Amino acid sequence: MEPTSRIIVALDFDNRRAAEEVVDRLGAECRFYKVGLELLTAAGPDLIEHLVAKGKEVFLDLKLFEIPNSVAGAVRVAGSLGVSMVTVHSMGGTGIMSAAVAAARDFLGLRVLALTVVTSMTRSDLADIGVAGATSTEEQVLRLARLAEGAGCHGVVASPQEAEPLRGVLGAGALIVTPGVALPGASSGEHARSGTPRCAVSAGATHVVVGRAVTRAADPVAALRLVRADLEP
C-alpha cells in the first residue's frame, strides 16, 4: 500500500465550511477523511455524500454502542452514504459487532472496524471503569481484538503502540487503523498512547489517522507531505 493510501485526515471541526476549506486546500494530496460525531452533528450526512462525490473515501468514526438492531440500522445508513469504514465499540460485545458486520454485507466495500481502547485511556482509566483482570491497556486491546475477529469485523482501531501485537493476533489480512500518530518531536496532544506514522506502519498498522497537525497547520499540504515522507521507505 502506497503512503498516500495509508493516511486518513481527521476533519475534527464543528462546522462544514471549515472542513470543506481543508479538503479543498489538500485537493488531490489526500484521498481519505475521517468524519466523527462532532462534524456529523454539525454538518449532517450531506457532507459525507459531498466527500464521496468528490472521489474521497470516508471513515465514519461513530463508535457505535447501542442495541444490535440500532447499530445495524446505523451501519446500513452509512453504507447507503458511500462510506468506506465505520466503527463500532468492541466493548458492546459480540452481538453489537455481529449485527454491524451483517448489515455491512449489503454494501460492497464497507468495512466494519471495532474500536478497542481509545488512545487517551491508560491502565488507571481501565481500572476506574471496573475492567478487572486487565493488567495493561495492551492486554485489554488484544482481548477486544480477538472478540472483534470472532464477530467478523474487518479490523480494529487502536493506538500505534498496540499495532505490532495486534498484527500477530489478527494475521495479515486485518485492517489496523491507528489514531494518535505524531511526527517526531511533535506533541501527541490528548493521546496517551501515541507513536510516529513510520513506527505505526512498521509495526503493522494499515492506516494512520492525523488531525490537527495537518488541518490546523499554516500550510496543510506541506504538513501532509511531511506525514507522507515519514511513511516512505
Q: Give the number of C-alpha atoms closer than 13 A to the C-alpha of residue 2, restricted to the C-beta side.
A: 6
Give the integer Cα–Cα distance in Å for 87 and 123: 23
Structure-block grid coordinates of residue 72: 445495524
SS3 16: helix
Cell 488507571 belongs to residue: 124
Q: Could you confirm whether 34 is annotated as catalytic?
A: no
Q: Give the number of C-alpha atoms closer than 13 A to the C-alpha of residue 92, restricted to the C-beta side.
A: 23
Give the integer Cα–Cα distance in Å for 101 and 104: 5
Q: Can you give the C-alpha Rg of the chain in angstroms?
A: 17
Active site residues: 63
